[in-house]
Amino acid sequence: MSRRTLRASMSVRMDPAAFPASSRSPRAPFAARRGERIDAIAQDIREEGGRAATCVVDVTEAEDLRRLVSTTVDQYCRIDVLVNNAGIASISPLADLDTDGWSAMIDVNLRGMLNGVAAALPVFREQGSSIISVAGLSSVSPSMAVYAATKNAVRTVHEGLRTESTDGVVRTTAISPGYVRTDLVDSMADPQIREQTRKHMDAMGIPPAAVARAAAFAIEQPGDVEIGEINVRPTVQA
């Protein structure tokens, strides 16, 4: 049976088409804030013989995620995998007091993931499914404190969900990437930090497909096996 994989993205950051590759999941609903991007991805999948639906959502709005889950179940009868992929990095030194940036990261990186879990979990408890969320390898370093806090919180929530789901019905996986070639840097307001991060991505960043393979590995395990956490980084990243 083909898997119905629901991807919740913000139209930018990690390419939603990569979770997992269309050849592994021919029935693939995509959700993002900007419809034109996911429409193009869905069209590519259809041209390859797969099925792909799209839905414009804002992951910070819980009702959008509930509507997305309901629409997906109506069209595909079930959801086998939820991928929480939305993320921004409004990083700056704490002394800059960018409270708007802090709030935005909490809303998207953490609350967005929680909204996805809250919308999908009632369905998943009935049918059995996998939840995958993109966390991160960020540690507490200059300018990264709040961003790292949101990503570490994603891992904490996943571990909590795992301990509450030991009946084998719902599997959870937190994937923590290192440098990946995405447009995450576009969400960085500080020009110096943005340029420095872009140089690191250009020098060592791995393609989004590497993270997709990690997601596929977790999904394809037998029903009695759960891959709780995966770290994926460039071999040259410290």
The mean per-residue pLDDT over the stretch 96-125 comes to: 95
Active-site residue numbers?
147
Q: What pLDDT is attached to residue 8?
A: 53
Q: Where are the beta strands (DSSP E) in 105-218?
A: 129-134, 170-177
pLDDT band of 28, cuts 50, 70, 90: low
CB atoms within 10 A of CB 8: 29
pLDDT of residue 10: 42
| Cβ-proximal residues to 18 (8 Å cutoff; 6+ apart), any chain | 208, 209, 211, 212
- What is the domain partition of the chain in residue ranges? 5-232
pTM: 0.83
Give one DSSP letter per residue of 54-71, joined into a string.
EEE--TT-HHHHHHHHHH
Helix (H) or strand (E) holding 193: helix 191-204
3-state secondary structure of 132: strand
**The domain 5-232 belongs to what CATH superfamily?**
NAD(P)-binding Rossmann-like Domain (3.40.50.720)
Whether the Cβ atoms of residue 80 and residue 129 lie closer than 8 Å to each other: yes
Residue 4 has pLDDT above 60, yes or no: no
The whole-chain average pLDDT of the chain stands at: 84
Q: Which pLDDT score is estimated for 5?
A: 57
Band of the pLDDT at 54, cuts 50, 70, 90?
A: confident
